[in-house]
């Protein structure tokens, strides 16, 4: 961040820019921040309401820094230049300096790091003398801070040399107790020794649940092992060379080591197993991974251990407003339920008055389709649409579930390929059928010909012709390394996750902080061109899912084989 009066390239320290989500649009963001604060993807709550939530863990300094809550339980208050009053979570330091305290960079503006070692680093005569990992926005040419000058900066907006900080820096009304707690927290941010990092090795894990699809598991592991082998032969990979000698001084080409954590037994034993794995070999992050019907124990473990879990292959990810360390490419079947709901509601609204819509859902009891069906039922009932469900018991035929469904009604199927193929024994039950593409096999779905004319798929990816260029590189890489394409979408997602990790680490240089890893992925993701199966990926702070939408597709052509969009891209 720049000092008052400095040009676009000027930089200065500031302990908070409360509620400035994106540097290029600070004035608007500050005015909005006084009214709303982020509480999760696509959701906002009044700042005063958010400020009433007490910190669930950590010190008073952590609650102040992350949530804008004083030790008294009252909301933090600050005044921004121009008279904008900030309160509670809208005034929290984390909004701009991020959870890690290492700041961020947006366009030409840099939000500086404020962890203690960056604040107290002695003035350097030249950049090469600075004994700190490179972080955008760091300043080595000013006097180091002390407890007293940091307090003055927070309260009065005056830097360590007695000069005004940028007008973007709010001034905070903190008593001595809260100031001491906040400064203590800034010091605490520097006390975390990076786990899973040695002078020569970066340790990563991938997690596999016992009910994961064995074919997809094999395909994922094949990609991971080959990618790690390639990374160790070509440490910088395809990443452009670092131009700054300052950065290069800290860039150590560490070897990547992959640890496969295979879970066994029932889900209530997984946490103990994961704890044991992590104790035996600490890792910096979890990359990819694959789950079956229940990923929640893994998700919860990673959140509790502050362990980044990057883009696991799961059909039912965990939705939680305040979780940070687990990020996913999409909501899986939960996104599919949103796509189907949007289309059913739209078509119900186009019907003549007095023609009600009734929806029937069929899924295997205990499979992931049950979660999708529950989400769809909730969405449709909110629009007054009646929903009936049939959970197939073990051994029960799909044909049995179709009996008695009126043909004018809507049928939604959450089925795996064997059950989809079994539909060949019966004619379509209704004139309008929707189906989970993710569960059914996407482009390879074995849907019988007599069902294709009436069936549309939920498709939470780009269409085949739209994604061809974005997946060609990965598929070519698979071919060169003789990796069988047994599960193309899972393997493409795994390759994409590895690539994102490699690119992010190259930009982090040696600033190995788990929180910073997640933050850098959030910052970099939307600028990536090769996004695999997805037309666009973005992860703003507070978001968990990088791809937000999908298509409803139908089967076209005389043979009903080609998949085409049945309408525009939908973001539920």
How far is Cα 436 from Cα 333, in angstroms, rounded to an integer? 7
Find the mean pLDDT for residues 4-27.
Answer: 31
In a domain, 419, yes or no: yes
Q: What is the pLDDT, as a whole number, of residue 19?
A: 31
- Are 284 and 320 part of one and the same domain? yes
Q: Contact at 8 Å (CB) between 357 and 344?
A: yes
In a domain, 221, yes or no: yes
Which range among 32-36, 265-269, 399-403, 500-504 shows the weakest confidence by mean pLDDT? 32-36
In a domain, 170, yes or no: yes
Angle in degrees, 0-180, between the axes of helices 176-188 and 147-156, rounded to the nearest 10:
120
Q: What is the pLDDT, as a whole number, of residue 487?
A: 97
- Are 147 and 267 part of one and the same domain? no
CB atoms inside a 10 Å sphere around CB 7? 8
- Are 160 and 32 part of one and the same domain? yes
pTM for this structure? 0.85
Select from 188, 223, 243 the last residue of a domain. 188
- Are 319 and 338 part of one and the same domain? no
* Beta bridge mates, 28: none
Q: Contact at 8 Å (CB) between 422 and 399?
A: yes
Residue 240 or residue 287, greater confidence: 287
| Domain housing 117 | 23-188
- Are 142 and 44 part of one and the same domain? yes
Q: What is the pLDDT, as a whole number, of residue 105?
A: 72
Select from 188, 212, 238 the last residue of a domain. 188
- Are 80 and 220 part of one and the same domain? no
Q: What is the pLDDT of residues 521-542, one digit of tens each?
A: 999 998 999 999 999 999 998 8
Q: What is the pLDDT of residues 103-126, one digit of tens each?
A: 877 667 778 899 998 999 888 776
Q: What is the pLDDT of residues 19-61, one digit of tens each?
A: 332 232 333 233 223 222 333 333 333 333 333 333 333 489 9
Confidence of residue 5 (pLDDT cuts 50, 70, 90): very low
Residue 477 or residue 248, greater confidence: 477
In a domain, 106, yes or no: yes
459, pLDDT greater than 60: yes
- Are 509 and 489 part of one and the same domain? yes
Task: Name the percent of the chain lying above pLDDT 90.
Answer: 70
Q: What is the pLDDT of residues 198-253, one digit of tens each?
A: 999 999 999 999 999 999 999 999 999 999 999 999 765 444 443 344 444 445 57
Give the strand pairing for 358-364 and 410-414. parallel
Q: What is the pLDDT, as a whole number, of residue 542?
A: 87
Q: Contact at 8 Å (CB) between 281 and 261?
A: no
18, pLDDT greater than 60: no
How far is Cα 14 from Cα 241, in angstroms, rounded to an integer? 31
Q: What is the pLDDT, as a whole number, of residue 354?
A: 62
Task: Name the percent of the chain lying above pLDDT 70.
Answer: 84
- Are 375 and 491 part of one and the same domain? no
Q: What is the pLDDT of residues 310-359, one digit of tens each?
A: 999 999 999 998 899 999 999 999 999 999 999 999 999 888 666 778 99
- Are 212 and 314 part of one and the same domain? yes
- Are 129 and 227 part of one and the same domain? no
Confidence of residue 300 (pLDDT cuts 50, 70, 90): very high
For the chain, the average pLDDT equals: 86
- Are 42 and 176 part of one and the same domain? yes
- Are 278 and 346 part of one and the same domain? no
Q: Using CB atoms within 10 A of its CB, is residue 535 exposed (0-12), middle (13-18) or buried (19+)?
A: middle
In a domain, 422, yes or no: yes
Distance of CA 121 to the CA centre of its chain: 33
Q: What is the pLDDT of residues 150-179, one digit of tens each?
A: 999 999 999 999 999 877 788 998 999 999
- CATH code at 364? 3.40.50.2300
Q: What is the DSSP letter of 138?
A: -
Select from 131, 162, 188 the last residue of a domain. 188
How many structural domains is the chain composed of?
A: 3
Q: What is the pLDDT of residues 387-428, one digit of tens each?
A: 999 999 999 999 999 999 999 999 999 999 999 999 999 999
How far is Cα 103 from Cα 382, in angstroms, rounded to an integer? 41
């Amino acid at each position: 961040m720049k000092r008052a009066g400095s040009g676009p390239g000027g930089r200065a320290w500031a302990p908070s820019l409360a509620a400035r989500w994106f540097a290029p649009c600070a004035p608007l963001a500050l005015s909005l921040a006084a009214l709303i604060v982020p509480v999760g993807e696509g959701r906002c709550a009044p700042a005063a309401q958010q400020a009433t939530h007490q910190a669930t863990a950590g010190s008073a300094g952590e609650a102040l820094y992350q949530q804008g809550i004083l030790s008294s339980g009252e909301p933090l208050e600050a005044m921004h230049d121009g008279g904008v009053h900030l309160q509670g979570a809208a005034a929290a330091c984390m909004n701009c300096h991020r959870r890690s305290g290492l700041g961020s960079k947006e366009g030409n503006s840099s939000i500086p790091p404020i962890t203690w070692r960056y604040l107290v680093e002695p003035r350097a005569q030249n950049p090469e003398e600075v004994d700190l990992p490179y972080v955008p926005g760091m300043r080595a040419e000013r006097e180091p801070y002390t407890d007293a000058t940091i307090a003055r900066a927070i309260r009065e907006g005056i830097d360590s040399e007695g000069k005004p900080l940028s007008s973007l820096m709010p001034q905070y009304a903190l008593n001595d107790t809260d100031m001491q707690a906040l400064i203590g927290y800034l010091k605490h941010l520097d006390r975390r020794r990076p786990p899973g990092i040695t002078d020569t090795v970066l340790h990563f894990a991938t997690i596999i649940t016992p009910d994961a699809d064995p074919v997809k598991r094999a395909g994922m592991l094949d990609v991971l092992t080959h990618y790690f082998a390639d990374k160790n032969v070509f440490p910088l990979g395809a990443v452009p060379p670092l131009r700054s000698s300052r950065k290069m001084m800290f860039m150590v080409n560490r070897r990547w080591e992959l640890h496969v954590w295979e879970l066994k037994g029932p889900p209530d034993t997984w946490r103990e197993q994961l704890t044991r794995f992590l104790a035996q070999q600490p890792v910096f992050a979890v990359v990819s991974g694959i789950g079956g019907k229940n990923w929640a124990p893994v998700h919860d473990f990673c959140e509790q251990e502050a362990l980044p879990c990057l883009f696991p292959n799961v059909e039912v990810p965990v939705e939680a407003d305040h979780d940070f360390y687990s990020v996913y490419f999409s909501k899986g079947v939960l996104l599919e339920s949103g796509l189907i709901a949007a289309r059913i509601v739209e078509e119900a609204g186009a019907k003549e008055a007095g023609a009600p819509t009734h929806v029937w859902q069929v899924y295997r009891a205990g499979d992931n389709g049950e979660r999708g069906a529950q989400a769809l039922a909730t969405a449709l009932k909110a629009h007054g649409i009646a929903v009936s469900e049939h959970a197939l018991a073990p051994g029960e035929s799909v044909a049995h579930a179709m009996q008695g469904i009126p043909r004018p009604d809507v049928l939604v199927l959450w089925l795996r390929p064997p059950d989809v193929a079994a539909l060949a024994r019966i004619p379509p039950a209704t004139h309008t059928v929707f189906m989970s593409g993710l569960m059914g096999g996407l482009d390879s779905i074995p849907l019988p010909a007599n069902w294709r004319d009436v069936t549309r798929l939920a498709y939470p990816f780009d269409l085949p012709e739209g994604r061809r260029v974005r997946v060609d590189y990965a598929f070519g890489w698979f071919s060169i390394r003789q990796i069988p394409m047994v599960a193309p979408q899972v393997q493409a997602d795994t390759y994409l996750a590895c690539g994102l990790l490699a690119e992010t680490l190259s930009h982090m240089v040696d600033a190995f902080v788990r929180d910073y890893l997640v933050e850098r992925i959030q910052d970099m993701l939307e600028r990536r061109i090769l996004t695999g199966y997805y037309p666009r990926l973005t992860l703003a702070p507070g978001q968990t899912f990088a791809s937000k939408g999908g298509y409803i597709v139908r089967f076209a052509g005389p043979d009903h084989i080609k998949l085409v969009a049945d309408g525009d891209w939908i973001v539920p």
